[in-house]
Structure 1
């Protein structure tokens, strides 16, 4: 994960990196100043003046750890073992640079140690070279703590963000189910369906009437039993869609034709429940119902470049309908004034379930009708049938 991951974990509740970065190293200076002045005063010959070399040490550490932020951004997608190895390696490198720098700063103030003589190769008699790196483990520990805090804080707010997205997805799913049920069992839908059944009975087509009632009850049962919080296989979504279309085909007779082009691999992929039905519903309401004959709805699904691409196309008349006055963008946003039943709800659910990883586009046909295009990441079900 790179910039997309950084955008994903970023939210308005997360404190500024620079605020936490500066506060962290200021805390380091404060704690070690207190330690040297009050707890290690027998060994501290500088007194309160130890504050100055510690400030320099904190500034050096802040400057050295700042680039780690950009290095760690590239490590979000690593496995746990590789991530720990990367943190350890970076901590070793930075502590290896910080240790001599902070020690030189401390020794410069401590008993007027001559740093220039050391650099020139003429250290004082009491100097021991191992002293230059004797605090390497301490420096490594401090940088390692900074690194773990960086990931810990970011993972914490990433978890909060994911929880918010999940809660929003559940809320939108419930809203979607309520809207769908309200439309599916509203007086118009039931009246049209039952009126078609009555007509079939009067014509003596009892088998067709019985079949239509069975499909209606099965479709409504699917809507009631389906858990809106869970994704379902595209195969199950298409089964419910076919039930709905068979009911509508009975109503519209030869005015409605349906064509499916579904890749076998796509049928096993997971999709949000009741994703395609509102789009087909709009096509019937605003396109097929306006035609006296020759109505066609095509539903296609295919896998391409790690994405499941779905389309719902109709050949309705070129006029203002549910798909007009809709602006789309690269992120699948639609205008709030969209008139289509359930379409805006679909867009909202996609934004929550697949942030920055989906597309939703509505395209006017070259001759007639409209094409609704949805692209979501491929996701396989863990259930084996």
Structure 2
């Protein structure tokens, strides 16, 4: 942030110098002015203006040095010594110029020459140095505040970039995982039933088309996800035939809610692969969605037991948890439990 080219800063800086000079120089002297002594009041006013204007002009010299030779967050001991040096030079210039300037209003309003000893002038040096110390405090506060905001912005952009990279990596895990299972199913049917294999390829191509078109988005409508789910189930039914029963209980108000793409597909895939496929007589997979208290509930229940999942890689379940964490933080949740010989996977997604 370049203050030296900021017109708003210079306007506020000028007002600040005049106001501070008036407060430090004039306000404590007015009470001692005799009533009706207009010339004394005029002198005090001009003294305030001259001190403020001179400080304002010399502050440009210090600001030029700070913005060209002093980087916030990167300064060294040598830079700090340079800052002290430019501060001392500014004080010398200020005091050498101020006293001759003050002689003008003294002679005009008070009708005498102001003759101060060197000691008397030196005793005023700490007083005037305070002006510049206050100015330095304000300038560095602005600079540090801006520097902190830049760091926060960079960290936010880095976190966003990291999340996008992680999400893309997770999406890359979904498609190969799904492709591997589906192609294995097709391979098993090629020599047994060509028509079924062709039908399976058609459903697979529709599913892949969906996956490719949604690859660059982080959320989609639940009803769009359902279209892909039905294709996936059709592929699975060709393999499992009567062993797989699929039911849905979809709340109409949930159809337009936004969810991460292919996250339900992963639940259905795990329910079939680790539940139905391990049961001799097969079983049922039920998909339920509902909205309660501004929370979307997605529940996939399948026949089987959680113990049957121990031989799997659990890649899909880890994927689901990680994606929910990246998109929603701690506001969303995923749980897996066994209820009366059925495995229930539940996702909770906040709607606000």
Compute the TM-score of the two structures, normalised by the length of structure 1: 0.54
**Count of matched residue positions in the alignment of Structure 1 and Structure 2:** 251
Please give the per-residue CA displacement for 1:138-189, whole angstroms capped at 9, x wherever unaligned. xxxx59x958974x55653443333223322332233223322322332x53
Please give the per-residue CA displacement for 1:95-115, whole angstroms capped at 9, x wherever unaligned. xxxxxxxxxxxxxxxxxxxxx
Bigger RCO of structures 1 and 2 (CA < 8 A, at least 6 apart): 1
Q: Which runs of 5+ in 1 are unaligned?
A: 1-18, 21-25, 62-141, 325-337, 380-385
Contact 2:182–2:235 (CA under 8 A) maintained in structure 1: no
Contact 2:218–2:261 (CA under 8 A) maintained in structure 1: yes
Instruction: Give the aligned partner of residue 160 of structure 1.
Output: 154
Instruction: Pick one of 167, 184, 192 that aligns with 1:199.
Output: 192
- 1:30/1:307 Cα in 2 relative to 1: closer, same or farther (>3 Å)? farther
Q: Give the whole-Å Cα distance in 2 for the aligned partners of 1:51 and 1:369.
A: 82
- 1:378/1:153 Cα in 2 relative to 1: closer, same or farther (>3 Å)? farther
Instruction: Give the aligned partner of residue 340 of structure 1.
Output: 314
Contact 2:204–2:235 (CA under 8 A) maintained in structure 1: yes
SS of 1:199's equivalent in the other structure is coil
Q: Give the whole-Å Cα distance in 1 for the aligned partners of 2:350 and 2:214.
A: 22
- Tell me, yes or no, if structure 1 residue 369 matches structure 2 residue 345: no
SS of 1:367's equivalent in the other structure is coil
Q: Give the whole-Å Cα distance in 1 for the aligned partners of 2:335 and 2:209.
A: 31
Please give the per-residue CA displacement for 1:335-364, whole angstroms capped at 9, x wherever unaligned. xxx9412222232222222223322222x2
1:247-258 mapped onto 2 (5 Å cutoff): 247-258=235-246
Instruction: Give the aligned partner of residue 258 of structure 2.
Output: 270
Contact 2:278–2:308 (CA under 8 A) maintained in structure 1: no
- 1:318/1:372 Cα in 2 relative to 1: closer, same or farther (>3 Å)? closer
User: Cα RMSD between the aligned structures?
Assistant: 3.9
Q: Give the whole-Å Cα distance in 2 for the aligned partners of 1:157 and 1:302.
A: 42
User: How far did 1:258 drift?
Assistant: 1.7
SS of 1:354's equivalent in the other structure is helix
User: How far did 1:248 drift?
Assistant: 0.7
Q: Give the whole-Å Cα distance in 1 for the aligned partners of 2:299 and 2:191.
A: 34
SS of 1:342's equivalent in the other structure is helix
User: How far did 1:57 drift?
Assistant: 6.8
User: How far did 1:215 drift?
Assistant: 0.9
Higher helix share: 2
SS of 1:308's equivalent in the other structure is strand
SS of 2:329's equivalent in the other structure is coil
- 1:320/1:213 Cα in 2 relative to 1: closer, same or farther (>3 Å)? closer
Q: Give the whole-Å Cα distance in 1 for the aligned partners of 2:273 and 2:206.
A: 22
- 1:228/1:366 Cα in 2 relative to 1: closer, same or farther (>3 Å)? same
SS of 2:309's equivalent in the other structure is coil
- Tell me, yes or no, if structure 1 residue 243 matches structure 2 residue 237: no
- 1:40/1:360 Cα in 2 relative to 1: closer, same or farther (>3 Å)? farther
Q: Give the whole-Å Cα distance in 1 for the aligned partners of 2:85 and 2:295.
A: 52
Instruction: Give the aligned partner of residue 290 of structure 1.
Output: 278
